[in-house]
Amino acid sequence: MNSGRIIKLFAGTASKRLGERIVEHLKRELPESGGLKFLEKYRLSDITVKKFSNDNIFVRLEETVREADTYIIQSSGIPVNDRFMELLITIDAMRRSSAGRITAIVPYLPYSRSDKIDQPRVPLTARLVADLIEAAGADHVVVMDLHADQIQGYFNIPVDHLKATSVLASYVEENYLHTIPEEELKDWIVISPDAGSAKRAQNFASILGLPLAVVLKERTGNNDKSEVMHVIGDIDGKNAILFDDEIDTAGSMMNAITSLCENFGVKQVIAVATHGIFSGPAIRRIESNPYLKSVVVTDTLDVPEKGETCCRTYSSDGKMIHDEVLVTKINVCSISELLAATIRSIHLGESVTHLYERWEINEPRKDKGRK
What domains lie within the chain, and their CATH numbers? 7-163+335-359 (3.40.50.2020), 165-333 (3.40.50.2020)
Specify whether the CB–CB gap between 212 and 205 falls below 8 A: yes
Residue 351 φ then ψ, to 5°: -70, 145
Q: Is 342 left (phi over 0), alpha (psi -120 to 50) or beta?
A: alpha
Band of the pLDDT at 367, cuts 50, 70, 90?
very low
Beta strands in the chain (DSSP E): 7-11, 47-51, 57-61, 69-73, 101-106, 140-144, 159-162, 188-192, 212-219, 226-232, 239-247, 269-276, 292-298, 309-316, 319-326, 330-333
Catalytic-residue membership of 217: yes
pLDDT tens per residue, range 152-193: 999 999 999 999 999 999 999 999 998 889 889 999 999 999
Specify whether the CB–CB gap between 312 and 112 falls below 8 A: no
SS3 at position 292: strand
- The dihedral built from the CA positions of residue 180, 181, 187 and 190, taken in this order, carries a sign that is positive
Q: Which of 16, 37, 199, 217 is catalytic?
A: 217
Q: Which residues pair with 296 in a beta bridge?
A: 272, 331
Average of per-residue pLDDT values in the chain: 90
What's the confidence (pLDDT) of residue 34? 47
Give the pLDDT mean for 323-348: 95
Q: Which pTM was predicted?
A: 0.91
- The dihedral built from the CA positions of residue 320, 325, 331 and 334, taken in this order, carries a sign that is positive
